[in-house]
Amino acid sequence: MTATLIQPTFELDLRTISRRDRRPLIFRRFDALATGQALQLVNDHNPQPSAVSSRTVLSESSNTCFDCHPARTAMTFVATGACIGSMHTDCVDVCPVDAFREGPNFLVIDPIESIDCAACVPECPVNAIYAEEDVPTGQQHFTLLNAELSRERKPITTTKLALPDAEAWRKIEHQLGELKR
């Protein structure tokens, strides 16, 4: 079975939908797609120039989205140690469902809210976000940490300035001991 990249055929304008209602609406619209159809999301965030455009890879024989189907329960993307101490929030701007949670010095991705769109990956200036299967050796524990902390933290929905000493943190290799809960 081969996957085909198709052009979006239906547009869902999220700018008029309350943030609370976005996720259920996205999945209702996705589930209503016929084979060969796609859904393009228009959000009210201000993506940076490197933002990934909304594209969906569909099976040729069904409308199963390999990356964002609601039946998938595993977290696809993980915020790792490079975020500790820097907390750049560029990723927040491109997230259509507010999957990021804010702590004192570390962002996490909520596996329940995430629709696995991957828009956040290229936006992270410290390369802290990885697909779950690509999390570097020695940082796999961040998958569980994201899930745990996302239950305790509130969503972050707007971009904020990075922490004042964010640049200095880029040089620190083992940041986990500095994580503030």
Per residue in 28-76, pLDDT (tens digit) is 888 888 877 887 888 765 443 222 333 333 333 333 333 443 444 444 7
Q: Please check whether residue 83 lies inside any domain of the structure.
A: yes
- 41 and 121 in a single domain? The answer is no
Residue 43 lies in a domain: yes
Query: Quick check: is 180 in a domain?
Result: no
| Pair type for strands 3-5 and 10-13 | unpaired
Q: Which of 99, 123, 95 is nearest to 110 (CA)?
A: 99
CA angle 72, 111, 68 (to 5 degrees): 40
Look up the domain containing 152 and give its range.
77-171
Co-location of 87 and 157 in the same domain = yes
- Helix ranges, the chain (H): 19-31, 90-94, 141-152, 166-169
95 and 42 share a domain?
no
The pTM score is 0.62
70 domain residue, yes or no? no
In a domain, 85, yes or no: yes
Q: Say yes or no: 88 and 41 in one domain.
A: no
Same domain, 89 and 166: yes
The Cα–Cα gap between 70 and 88 comes to 28
110 lies in some domain: yes
Is there a single domain that holds both residue 99 and residue 46? no
Residue 15 placed within a domain:
yes
Do residues 151 and 103 share a domain?
Answer: yes
Dig out the tokens for 38 from the structure: 């796609």
Instruction: Tell me the pLDDT tens digit for each residue of 109-156.
Output: 998 888 778 889 999 999 999 988 889 989 999 999 999 999 999 999
Look at residue 164 and tell me if it is in a domain: yes
Q: What is the CATH number of the domain that holds 82?
A: 3.30.70.20
CA distance 47 to 69: 23
One domain, residues 43 and 117: no
Q: Structural domain tally of the chain?
A: 2
